[in-house]
A and B are shown apart, each in its own frame.
Chain A
Amino acid sequence: MATAISFEHVIKRYHDIYAVNDVSCEIEAGSIVALLGPNGAGKTTAISMMLGLTKPTSGQVRAFGEDPMRRVARRHYGVMLQQVGLPQKVRVGELIDWFRSFYDEPIAKDTLLDMADLRDLARKEAVKLSGGQQRRLQFAMAMAGNPRILFLDEPTTGMDIASRRGFWDYLRNFAKERDRTIILTTHHLDEAETIADRVLVMQKGRVIADGSVDALKRQAGNRYVSFWAGGSVSEDTIAALPNVNEVRWSGRHVRITTDSPDEVLRAVIRADLDVSGFEVSQGQLEDAFVSLTAKDGGEDETITDRRRGR
C-alpha cells in the first residue's frame, strides 16, 4: 500500500506550548482515518500541517511524498474546513465552477451539483443557503478536483440526520470504489465508529492511541457485564465479586466494568445470584475515548485556557 500522508518526528511549537509534540505516523492510501482528541489536543494543528497551512517547527510532513506547503502536493486534495463563511454575492453554480477551475481534471459540474443535491439551487446566492445546504455545497467544492485524499474537519455540523446518513453512505462508497483516503475529525464519535477503519487519538500534542476501533476499545479496557438483579441481590454482594473495577446501578440494572468479563460471569453463576438478562459488551468508542483521554484531563484544560488567553 502506498503512503498518503506521513509524519516524521513532527513538532509544532507556539512559543512555549507544544501543539504537536514529536508525532510520527503514516496514513496508508485507501484508509479512512478519524483523528480524535479533546479540544486543544493538537488535532487541528496536525491537520493544518497536512494541508500546508502551517509549517512544522521541526520534522517533516509529506503528502504523497511532497511537502504540502508546495502547490503540487495539493493537486489531489479535497478539503472541507469547519466554519468557513462562503463569499457573498456568489452563486452556488459559480462557486462550483470556481473550484473546478483549480484542477486539471475536475468532476463535471452537474455531477457535483447532484452529489450535493443542489441542482435546483444552482443559481441561488451561496450564503443564502441553509446551514446544512452550505455544508453540502462545501462538500461538492471539496470534491471538485476528484481528490485522492479528502480532509473533513467536522463535516456534518449543521446537517440533519437524513443528510448526515446520506453523507456517510456516500463517503463509504467513495472510499471503497476508488481507493481514496479520507482523514476526518468529528465530535460525533458514533460517526467515527461506523466509518473509520483507523482511529488516532491525540492528547497534549501526542498520539496516545492508534488502531482500529476494536483495538482502541480493547486498549481502553472498557468491557462490561450487565444484568438485571433480583431483590435479594445487595450492592455489597456485587462489589465483592472478583475483577470488578466499577459498578453502576440504574434501578435494578447493574453494569460492571471489568478487565475480565469471563471471571465475573463465572463468579455470578457459581454464587447462583438471582440475576437475569446477561449482556457482555465492549461499550462504545465514546467510552474508550473518555477513558483514554481522562488520564490527564485536568492539565489539558489549563493548556486550552492558556491558549485562549493569548
Chain B
Amino acid sequence: MKAWLLQCKFEVLRNLRNRRFFFVSILLPVGFYFLYVHLIGKSIVIDGVAWPKYYMVSMATFGVVGTGLNGLSSRVAYERTQGWVKLMQTTPQRASNYITTKIAANLLLNILEVAILFVAGAAFEHVTMSLAAWILVAITTILGGLVFIALGILVGHLAGSDASQIVASILYFLMSITGGLWMPVSTMPPVMRHIANFMPTYHLAHIAWSVMGNKGVSITDVWVLFLYLVVFTGLAVYLANRRSDVRVA
C-alpha cells in the first residue's frame, strides 16, 4: 500500500511538473471560461441554465477530458515502447499497480481542475446553486473523467508516443467541440445535435447541465457513459495483454 501511494504521488507530481498539463488542463479551460462568459454575455440562458453556470460545467468537463487524454496517452505509449513497463514487470510489485496508480493520480487531478473551475465560477462570475447540486455536479464530472482516462490509456496502447500524442489531441478537440463543450449543442445545426448524442463528452456534461436546470438526470446519459467506459477499458485491457508476451528487443 505504501508503495502504491508513493507511486501515485509521483504520478501526480509528474503531471504538475508538466507545462503541457498546466496549459491544457488549467490555463485553456479557465481562459476560455472567462473569455466566452464575457463574449456571449452573462444574461443568456441555455436550456434553462444561466450561461456562466452552464459554461462552468462545459469547461470543467473540457479540462477533465484533456487531462485523461493528453496526460495519459503519450506517457503510456512512451513507457510501453521504451522498456519501462517491462522493467516494472520484473519487480515484485503487483502488475496492476502501474495502471491503477495512474488512474488514481488522474482522478486527483480531475478534482483539482473541477475545483479551479468551480472557484472561478463562484468567486468571479457569481455562480450559485444548492450545496447538494455543487457536490453532485462535482462528483459526476470527476468520476465521469474515468471514461477519458480509459480512452487515454487505450490510445497509449494503440500507437507510439508521438503518434498517440497527435491522436489524443485530435480526439480531445473533436470530442469537445462535437460534444457541445465549446458551444452549446442547442445553438448548433441539427446534424451536430445528432452527432453530439454519440459523444461521451456531451453525455457527461449533460448530466451536470440537467442537475443545474432542475430537470433530473437522464438514465440515457449514465448508460452511454458506462458503455463507453466498458468498451474503452475492454479494448485497452485486450491490447495490453496481447502485447505482454513479446520478447525483450
Given contacts A71-B92, A79-B91, A102-B92, 17 further A-B contacts (CB under 8 A): A14-B247, A44-B249, A54-B245, A54-B246, A54-B247, A71-B93, A71-B94, A74-B90, A81-B83, A81-B86, A83-B83, A88-B18, A88-B75, A89-B14, A94-B13, A101-B2, A102-B91
Assess whether B6 is interfacial by the CB under 8 Å rule.
Answer: yes
Q: Which residue of A lies closest to B245 (CB)?
A: A54
CA distance A101 to B84 in the complex (A): 17
* Interfacial residues of chain A within 41-55, with CB under 8 A of chain B in the complex: 44-45, 47-48, 51-55
Contact of A44 among B14, B87, B92, B248 (CB under 8 A): B248
- Decide if A77 touches B247 in the complex (CB within 8 Å): no
Question: Is A103's beta carbon under 8 Å from chain B?
Answer: yes
Contact between B87 and A84 (Cβ–Cβ < 8 Å)?
A: yes
Asked if A72 lies at the interface with its beta carbon under 8 angstroms from chain B, I say: yes
Per-residue B-contact encoding for A57-82, CB less than 8 Å = 1, 0 else: 00000000000000110110101011
Interchain CB contact (< 8 A) of B249 among A54, A71, A83: A83
- On whether the beta carbons of B247 and A48 are closer than 8 Å, the reply is yes
Q: A86, B7: Cβ atoms under 8 Å?
A: no
Known contacts: A87-B84, A88-B14. The answer to whether A75 contacts B248 by CB under 8 A is: no
B242 proximal to A (CB < 8 A) = no
Given A84-B82, A89-B14, A102-B92: A79 and B247 interface contact (C-beta under 8 Å): no
| Interface size in chain B (residues, C-beta < 8 A) | 29
Interface set, chain B 1-53, CB cutoff 8 A to A: 2-3, 6-7, 10, 13-15, 17-18
Closest to B89 in A: A53
Contact B89 A98 (CB under 8 A): no
- CB under 8 Å from chain B, chain A span 106-164: 145, 151, 153
Could you say which residues of chain B place their CB within 8 Å of the CB of A101? Answer: 2-3, 6-7
| Count of residues in A whose CB is under 8 Å from the partner chain | 37
Closest to B7 in A: A98
B78 at the interface (CB under 8 A from A): yes
Contacts of A77 in B (CB 8 A): 90-92
A251 on the B face (CB < 8 A): no
Give chain B interface residues in 77-133, CB to chain A under 8 Å.
78-79, 82-84, 86-87, 89-94
Bound: A85/B161 CA distance, A:
12
In chain A, what residue has the closest Cβ to B9?
A94
- On whether the beta carbons of B14 and A52 are closer than 8 Å, the reply is no
Q: How far is the CA of A44 from the CA of B83 in the complex (A)?
A: 14
A44 & B247 in contact (Cβ 8 Å cutoff): yes
Does A191 interact with chain B (Cβ within 8 Å)? Answer: no
Assembled-state Cα–Cα distance A90/B105 (Å): 15
Asked if residues A84 and B84 are in contact (CB atoms below 8 Å), the reply is yes
A75 with B92: CB separation less than 8 A = yes
A86: B residues at CB distance < 8 A: 84
For residue A19, CB closer than 8 A to chain B, the reply is yes
Residues of A within 8 A of B6 (CB): 97-98, 101
Q: What is the CA–CA distance of A84 and B84 in the complex, to the nearest angstrom?
A: 6
Task: Point out the residues of chain A lying under 8 angstroms from B87, CB to CB.
Answer: 79, 81, 84
